[in-house]
Amino acid sequence: MEHLIVRGQQLAERWQGALSGWVLLLARLWVAQAFFRSGWLKLNAWDSTLYLFEFEYQVPLLPWQWAAYMGTATELLIPVLVLLGLLTRPAALLLFGFNIIAVISYPTLWPSGFFDHQLWGWMLLTLLVWGAGPFSLDRWLTRHR
């Protein structure tokens, strides 16, 4: 019986190793597309974006114009790093903080979109703790040093 338990444990560890890279890649793809799409929408409807930052969003510590430019740039640039798995941990940390600021700055979001922000937060936290995984430029660069 003990042999079966040990064998089952070994099999589970092997599957975990094989699947974890795919799970981390899925998290990177999911989070990157969500934030990039939001930035793209802001960029393509710039007048609306400026209106929202001036009158709807309540970004702390920044003038609304700066917040609009910085928020849009963050949503367009940082997800590309996450998607590629390049500087993944710092990029995930930036988006994790950005995600928190988005939730704090837009209280109207809570009833309809808070679950999405929680999900993205968990995915970013996962990337922050475990990194990008084997299918990433981070891994490729560390192997080719």
pLDDT at 122: 96
Q: What is the pLDDT of residues 104-128, one digit of tens each?
A: 887 776 677 788 889 999 999 999 9
> What is the arithmetic mean of pLDDT over 8-27?
83
Mean pLDDT score of the chain? 90
Show the domain range for 89: 21-143
Stretch 61-82: mean pLDDT, rounded?
96
Q: In the numeric block, which tokens belong to residue 107?
A: 């209280």
Distance CA 124, CA 129 (A): 9
* Interval 33-63: pLDDT, tens: 999 999 999 999 999 999 999 998 888 888 9
Number of structural domains the chain divides into: 1
pLDDT digits (tens, 9 = 90+) for 80-90: 999 999 999 99
On whether residue 4 sits in a domain, the answer given is no
Output the pLDDT for position 54: 93
pLDDT score for 57: 86
pLDDT score, position 110: 64
In a domain, 139, yes or no: yes
Q: Does any domain span residue 101?
A: yes
67 is a domain residue: yes
